[in-house]
Amino acid sequence: MAEEKATFAGGCFWCMVHPFDQLPGVKRVVSGYTGGHTVNPTYEEVCSHTTGHREAVEITFDPEVTSYRELLEVFWRQIDPTDPDGQFFDRGSSYRTAIYYHSEDQRRAAEESRQALARSGRFSKPIVTEILPAQPFYPAEDYHQNFYVTHPDHYQRYRRASGRDEFIQRHWGGVPDAH
């Protein structure tokens, strides 16, 4: 059984786990940090916006069951790709969006999906989500892993208050997959 990795920065990593965790073929979704210059940073260091890292999720998946392109579709539907300064009420460089590609095929697929989204007219502002080569990924502290499962009430309150669900509903319709 083949395994690949996909890495996405979509603002608060708590909100990025569940949508991918529920997909067939996804084996693991880990919250963590990537894209910076500090080795094995802590949450506090990343939140200080001095390490260069972004909160991200690293997804291990079976591409025979769920394709990378399908993961990209899920990613775009979780974020505001037009916000250069963070996501929803989380502001700063550690909350900026990015797709970190692990292969040339992933880079091409990410570029094509970003171009298609830009051409769709769904957003009135330009798409600013970066597409970058994968860098070392550092898992976040244990208390951040599977937060939607371990702290469901806190997670739901955070999602609602952040404005993420309202944004997703306004731009994509339906009820966000926020469980």
Helix (H) or strand (E) run with residue 154 in it = helix 152-162
**Distances in Å between the alpha carbon of 100 and those of 11, 47, 104, 175?**
14, 20, 11, 27
Strand ranges in the chain using DSSP code E only, listed in sequence order: 4-9, 26-34, 54-61, 86-87, 90-91, 98-101, 130-133, 137-139
Q: Out of 12, 98, 109, 134, which one is annotated catalytic?
A: 12
DSSP 25-71: TEEEEEEEEESSSSSS--HHHHHTT-S--EEEEEEEE-TTTS-HHHH
Q: Which two tokens stand for residue 21?
A: 């965790």
Residue 12 bears catalytic tag: yes
Tell me the catalytic residues. Answer: 12
